[in-house]
Structure 1
Amino acid sequence: MKCISWNVNGLRAIVKKGFVDIFNELDADFFCLQETKLQAGQIELDLPGYYQYWNYAEKKGYSGTAIFTKHPALNVQLGMGIDEHDQEGRLITLEYDDFYFITCYTPNSQSELKRLDYRMKWEDDFRDYVNELSLTKSVIICGDLNVAHKEIDLKNWKTNRKNAGFSDEERQKMTDLLNSGFTDTFRHFYPDVTGVYSWWSYRFNARKNNAGWRIDYFLTSNDFVEYLEDAQILTDVLGSDHCPVQLTFNLADKSDSIN
C-alpha cells in the first residue's frame, strides 16, 4: 500500500500547476490533502477509481482536508466529535477492517503564539481521540501536524525556539503523542538523516537554500510498525510550499486485511 499526504496550500491553485498529473504519477492507494481552502461544490476532480472524502471548514477559503482512496471505507468520521474543534475541516477518519486511517491538519499557533492555548487543547483532545481508536485497532495518522519535533527537523532551530511550530510546548505535545503509543515513521527508518524537510517559507529563497522544516508526518500506532516498508519525503515535487510525504506498508501476511 502506498500512502501520500500533502498540504497543497489551496487545491484550486495547485490544480492549475499540474496536480492531477502528479496525482496520477504517484498512483497512491491513499492520497490525503490538507489546506484545501475550498467549500463543497467549488471544485470537481475527475479521479477514476478513487473514492473521495472531504471535510470543509465553515470559514470560506480556509483550512479543509480530503482523502482520495482506492478502498471504500467501512465508516467515515469528519472531525473528532468535539464542536470546538470541528468547525475548521481539519480531520477525517476512515475505518477499515484492520486499521483507522486519519488525515489531520493541526492548527497553527500563529505569530507570537497567540493561538497556543487553543493548540494545546487541540493536542490533548486529539491524543485522547486517537488513543481511544487504538484500543480497537491500529491507527495511521498523516498530515501537516505543524510542529518540527526535534532540532534535527528544521534548518535554523536556534532562532526558532519560541516560534510557532518549534515552541517547547508544541514539541512536548508531539513527544506526548509518540509516548502514548505512536511511531514517527520517517524517523523509524531514518533516525539520523539531516537536511530533509517538507515545508519551506515562500520568503528568502528558503526552498532554494533548503532552509526548511519537517512538519508533515506519517505516524502509526506501535503495533503497526511491523507492516511498514518505507517512509519518504518527496522533496522534488513542486506546486506548494509543502512537498508530499509518503508511507508504504504491506498487510499481505495479515489475515482479513483491507476490505
Structure 2
Amino acid sequence: MKLISWNIDSLNAGLTGTSTRAKETRTIFKLINALEPDLIAFQETKLRKDPLKKHQEALAELFPGYQYVWRSSVEPARKSYAGTMYLYREGLKPKVTYPEIGAPSTMDQEGRIITLEFPHFFVTEVYTPNSGNGLKRLDDRQVWDDKYREYLAGLAQQKPVMASGDFNCAHEEIDLAHPSNNHHSAGFTDEEREHFTKLLDAGFTDSFRHLYPDKKGVYSWFAQRVLTSKKNNSGWRIDYWLVSNDLADKIQDSKMIDTGARRDHLPIELDIDVQP
C-alpha cells in the first residue's frame, strides 16, 4: 500500500483559493494524485462544517476515484479550526470512527482524529494540539499525549496500526535544524519529547527513522512566515508515519514529498507491504 499524509493548512483555500499559495497547493494535489496512493490523510482542513458543493466538485476533479470522510471542529470548540479528512480509493470499505479520547478543554471537539478499520489493521490520523505561544497549552497537551497514547495502544491490542499526522513534536535533536535554539519552543520541549518517546515505547516504530536512523537535514515543516526557511533548509520533522512494531519489517519506504517553493508542511509518504 501507498499512504500519504499532509497537513495542508486549509482545505478551502487549497481547493478554491486564487492566491499563489492556493495554486501551489493544487499543484501538489495533482502530484499526490499522480502517485496513485491508496489512502490520503489531510490535517488542519479548517472547514467550517461539511464540505460545500464547491469543495465536493474540486475534490472530484482533483481526486477522481476516491471516497472521502471528514471531521470538522464543532462547538464549543472554535469553528474553521483544526479538522481532518481521509480520501481512500473506491472499492476500499473501511469502518470509519471519530474517536474522543477524554482530552482536556475542547480538544475532543476540534476534529483531530479519524480512524479507518480494515480487516487486518487500522489506519488512523491525528492533528496533535500545538502547545501554543508561551507554551500556554503545554499542560493540556501533556494530558492529550497520555490519552492519545492510551487510545493508540488500545487499537494495537486489537490489530496492527498505522498512524500518521502532524504530531507537533520534533523527537530528537536530529529532527530539527537548530535544536540548541529551540529547547523551550513549542514542539521541542522536554515534556513533548518525553511523551513522544513514551508513545514509541508503547509499541510503535517511527517509519522514517527505522529506515534512515542517522539521516540529517530531512524535515517535514518549514516556517511559512520565514521567507528563507526552506531555501536554507531550516526545518523541523514533526509529521510522522508510525507503525506497530510488528509491521516494521514490512516498511518499504518512508519519505517526504517535495513541495517546491511552498513553505509549511510537506506531505509524507509510507510504502508498506500490507493488503487492505
The two structures share one fold, judged by TM-score above 0.5: yes
Worse-superposed segment, 73-82 or 185-194: 73-82
Partner of 2:253: 230
What is the number of equivalent residue pairs in this alignment? 253
> Is 2:90 the partner of 1:80?
no
Partner of 1:55: 71
Tell me the alpha carbon deviations over residues 46-82 of structure 1, each in whole angstroms, 9 at most, x when there is no partner. 1322120101111222100011011534421113353
- Structure-2 change in CA distance of 1:66 and 1:241 (3 Å): same
- Structure-2 change in CA distance of 1:173 and 1:72 (3 Å): same
Letter of the structure 1 residue corresponding to residue 51 of structure 2: G
SS of aligned partner of 1:161: coil
Partner of 1:64: 83
Letter of the structure 2 residue corresponding to residue 223 of structure 1: D
> Is 2:50 the partner of 1:31?
no
Question: 2:41 & 2:187 partners in 1: Cα distance?
Answer: 21
Partner of 2:11: 11
**RMSD over aligned Cα, in angstroms?**
1.6
Deviation at 1:41, TM superposition (A): 3.1
Do the aligned residues in 2 keep the contact of 1:14 with 1:240 (CA within 8 Å)?
no
> Is 2:250 the partner of 1:214?
no
Question: 1:41 & 1:236 partners in 2: Cα distance?
Answer: 25
Letter of the structure 2 residue corresponding to residue 37 of structure 1: K
Alignment of 1:90-105 (within 5 A): 90-105=112-127
Letter of the structure 1 residue corresponding to residue 241 of structure 2: F
- Structure-2 change in CA distance of 1:240 and 1:90 (3 Å): farther
Tell me the alpha carbon deviations over residues 206-252 of structure 1, each in whole angstroms, 9 at most, x when there is no partner. 1111110000000001011122111011134554511111100112x
Deviation at 1:34, TM superposition (A): 0.4
Question: 1:8 & 1:199 partners in 2: Cα distance?
Answer: 11
SS of aligned partner of 2:248: helix
Do the aligned residues in 1 keep the contact of 2:71 with 2:112 (CA within 8 Å)?
yes
Letter of the structure 2 residue corresponding to residue 41 of structure 1: P
Partner of 1:192: 214
Question: 2:180 & 2:225 partners in 1: Cα distance?
Answer: 19
- Structure with the bigger percentage of helix: 2
Unaligned 5+ segments in structure 1 are 252-256
Percent identity, aligned pairs only, is 43
> Is 2:143 the partner of 1:143?
no
Question: 1:155 & 1:179 partners in 2: Cα distance?
Answer: 25
> Is 2:50 the partner of 1:40?
yes
Give the TM-score taking structure 2 as reference length.
0.87
- Structure-2 change in CA distance of 1:239 and 1:206 (3 Å): closer
Worse-superposed segment, 151-160 or 231-240: 231-240
Do the aligned residues in 1 keep the contact of 2:95 with 2:117 (CA within 8 Å)?
yes
Do the aligned residues in 1 keep the contact of 2:103 with 2:147 (CA within 8 Å)?
no
